[in-house]
Amino acid sequence: MNLQSDLEFFRVKTCAICLFTDKIVHDRQGKFVLPEKAELILAYDESTGQDTSDKRERIPFNPRVRMIPEGLFSARPRMLVATALYHRETQLGYIVYEPGEIASSIYETLCVQISKSISSALVFTEKVELENELNSALNKLEVINGELHDISRTDELTGLLNRRGFLSLGQQSINLSLGMGKKGLVIFGDLDGLKAINDTWGHDVGDRALKAIAEILRRTFRSADVLARLSGDEFVVVTIDADSGSMETFNRRIEDLLRDWNQNSGEPYRLSISIGAVEYSQDSADLTKLLLFADGLLYEKKNAKKTIR
């Protein structure tokens, strides 16, 4: 859709649309102060034919010096009307136009519709920019994850991070997530019955059980989430952009993968894991303390399993 064509349909022969560089939320009880920075997003008349919207160029200028940049329109005499563009309390900018022979009420309505369209476009643009920032952050985390796959920070048996790598990257992930206004989870998992597996079938079989749990966790969580084997039968995960409601999905995925493994692995035991999870926030962001909370919830569930059995 070409905005110039739409305006010309309403007999608008000359037009300039200027938006303030920064959003201005104006209290109607207060005094409006014209900002020093604005951008011309569209300008045309019958002589210049200039329409910056097609080129997607924005021309910066100071509206306190001139209402519109110099040289936009031809020198012929004309009557121009200036109307503020705003949505609710947000001052977007203004439109300067030469009205045609249509009733003035039509042009007032047209300016209101232009304001709504610009406001919707700005909201959409901000949303896209935020999503791009989040995707960029997720990509950075994936790169960091890859760089940390070295002997000093990786568990040799499972290929997950070890305690050292997890405490470093896990806290970074929490800080980054909160910095973007997102919450997440710290999840503590414990392989059920590892000692019995080792005692009954040997440590090689126990090692295979640990590797299987590690693979199930990899398939459950995203590559940007931080996974680690702390020690022995203990596994931990830090997720970003998730909340306590997400655990139902994670638990269901883990149970499905465990069921499939137990049916097809050929191992003489059943694989099982107990899990505790706690949500982190601006008020609770210390990874060490969060691990203690999650560990406590894990053992409550582990004891409940023993009681049922």
Angle, alpha carbons 128-131-134 (nearest 5°): 155
The pLDDT-based confidence of 146 (bands split at 50, 70, 90) is low
Tell me the whole-structure pTM to 2 decimals.
0.53
Q: Does the pLDDT at position 86 exceed 90?
A: no
Q: Which residue has the tokens 């590690």?
A: 214
For 49-79, the pLDDT digits (tens) are: 554 444 446 789 999 999 988 888 888 888 8
Q: Domains for the chain: give ranges and CATH numbers.
A: 3-127 (no CATH), 148-308 (3.30.70.270)
pLDDT cut 90: percent of the chain above it: 37
For 22-41, the pLDDT digits (tens) are: 878 877 677 788 889 999 98
Q: How far, in Å, CA of 129 to CA of 107, rounded? A: 33
Q: Name 70's Cβ contacts closer than 8 Å, sequence gap at least 6.
A: none
Q: Which residue has the tokens 């700005």?
A: 122
Pull the structure tokens for residue 135: 């995707």
Q: How far, in Å, CA of 210 to CA of 195, rounded? A: 12
pLDDT of residue 304: 65
pLDDT of residue 181: 86
Greater confidence, 295 or 129? 295
The pLDDT-based confidence of 102 (bands split at 50, 70, 90) is confident
Kindly report the backbone phi and psi dihedral angles of residue 52, in degrees, each rounded to the nearest multiple of 5, phi listed first: -70, -15
Question: Largest alpha-carbon pair distance within the chain?
Answer: 98
Pull the structure tokens for residue 196: 């019995």
Mean pLDDT of 236-252: 90
pLDDT of residue 52: 44
Count CA atoms closer than 13 A to 202's CA, side-chain side.
Answer: 3
User: Is the separation of the CB atoms in 271 and 277 below 8 Å?
Assistant: no
